[in-house]
């Protein structure tokens, strides 16, 4: 049997774990030696520690789980080495692996499922980056892991996946997660056989995306175009969310659509019909999330806050207070 360890954390990685632990993989002689995930994080109103989706799935499958704070710590590396992996499969784990970790499987190496068609969008947020850039399509790549960020040679890629006109990162990532599992299942026989045929990436075509900051979704209506704002709303759903400030209160922008700019209105001015002009163009707010409240339609929000009409949406609370 080939001892496999899976490294992953969010819901998007669960289909690949299920594929690796499934009957087809078992028929190839793969035995799940363990799973490595991010540690439990506070969640919900009570902020109690909660396991990530991959950890919950692994425990349900009866697979041993390690959840170290960092795979750079000596104890964590020793615990992983104790699992004696012969191959490691990675999907959205959330930490960069060092050379010591990459060298742990002596026979079949480390393989990463990345949610883009490499070499486009190497890095931590390829799904969001594709939407932000207005890409028409994306996909999934399976690469042999090297120390350089997502620069390893490619074993397999999915066919191009068309990005829906209104598709959010949550929706697109969920689709790509299922495609990633299919890519992995097709590639497993070659990986287990050893020396699978890989192809180098074209470095001249490489682009890089960064880890998303929690304030990345704050909208500055004086600087961003309507098209950029619409993309950001889609890219940052569900996290970190898109928002502006109405006075000192944060207003989440959950769903928007293109709209004709209202006449003689400054960027960020909130119209009674939900239209808001941007630096160029305008959007109409369909669903919003007032601070401390749940998601609601813009119409419902205005009924409860009629004084918001004519106010300015801004990029920070201080600016919002100054314009009131």
| Nearest 10 degrees: Cα torsion 78, 80, 83, 86 | -110
Residue 159 contacts residue 139 (beta carbons within 8 Å) = yes
Beta strand extents in the chain (DSSP E only): 2-8, 30-36, 41-43, 48-50, 65-66, 87-91, 110-114, 122-123, 137-138, 141-144, 154-157, 161-162, 208-209, 242-246, 249-259, 275-277, 282-290, 296-297, 313-314
pLDDT score recorded for residue 317: 76
pLDDT score recorded for residue 323: 42
> Can you tell me whether residue 282 is helix, strand or coil?
strand
pLDDT score recorded for residue 318: 59
Residues 6+ apart with CB under 8 A from 54: 6, 8, 9, 10, 13, 14, 17, 35, 37
Instruction: Output the average pLDDT for the chain.
Output: 95
2-209: what CATH class?
A: alpha beta
Q: Which tens digits make up the pLDDT trace of 48-93?
A: 889 999 999 999 999 999 999 999 999 999 999 999 999 999 999 9
d(CA 244, CA 289): 10
Which backbone phi and psi does 191 adopt, to 5 degrees?
A: -65, -45
Do the domains at 2-209 and 226-323 have one common CATH topology? Answer: no
Taking the whole predicted model, whether its pTM rises above 0.85 is answered as yes
pLDDT score recorded for residue 320: 47
226-323: what CATH class?
A: alpha beta
Beta-sheet pairing, 208-209 with 141-144: unpaired
Q: Mean pLDDT per 10-residue run, the chain (324 residues)? A: 97 98 96 97 80 97 97 96 98 95 95 98 98 98 96 98 97 98 98 95 97 94 97 96 95 97 94 97 98 96 96 81 44
Note if the bond before 320 is cis, omega within 30 degrees.
no
Query: Residue 37's closest CA among 17, 23, 61?
Result: 17
Each domain of the chain, given as residue ranges in start order, spans 2-209, 226-323
């Amino acid at each position: 049997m080939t001892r496999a360890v899976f490294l992953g954390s969010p819901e998007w990685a669960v289909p690949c774990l299920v594929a690796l632990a499934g009957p087809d993989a078992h028929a190839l002689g793969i035995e799940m030696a363990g799973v490595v995930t991010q540690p439990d994080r506070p969640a919900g109103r009570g902020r109690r520690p909660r396991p990530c989706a991959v950890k919950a799935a692994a425990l349900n499958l009866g697979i041993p789980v390690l959840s170290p704070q960092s795979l750079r710590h000596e104890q964590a590396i020793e615990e992983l080495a104790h699992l004696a992996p012969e191959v490691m499969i990675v999907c959205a784990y959330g930490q960069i692996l060092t050379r010591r970790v990459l060298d742990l499987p002596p026979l079949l190496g480390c393989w990463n499922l990345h949610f883009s068609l490499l070499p486009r969008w190497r890095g931590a947020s390829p799904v969001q980056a594709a939407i932000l850039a207005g890409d028409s399509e994306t996909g999934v790549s399976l690469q042999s892991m090297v120390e350089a960020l997502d620069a390893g040679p490619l074993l397999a890629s999915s066919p191009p996946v068309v990005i829906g006109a209104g598709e959010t990162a949550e929706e697109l990532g969920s689709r790509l997660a299922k495609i990633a599992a299919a890519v992995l299942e097709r590639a497993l026989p070659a990986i287990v056989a050893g020396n699978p045929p890989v192809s180098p990436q074209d470095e001249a075509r490489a682009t890089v995306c960064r880890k998303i900051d929690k304030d990345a979704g704050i909208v500055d209506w004086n600087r961003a175009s309507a098209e950029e704002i619409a993309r950001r709303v889609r890219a940052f759903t569900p996290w970190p969310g898109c928002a502006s400030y109405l006075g000192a209160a944060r207003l989440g922008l959950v769903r928007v659509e293109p709209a004709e700019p209202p006449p003689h209105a400054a960027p960020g001015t909130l119209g009674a019909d939900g239209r808001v002009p941007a630096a160029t163009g305008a959007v109409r707010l369909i669903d919003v999330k007032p601070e401390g409240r749940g998601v609601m339609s813009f119409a419902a929000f205005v009924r409860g806050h009629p004084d918001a009409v004519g106010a300015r949406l801004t990029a920070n609370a201080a600016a919002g207070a100054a314009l009131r």
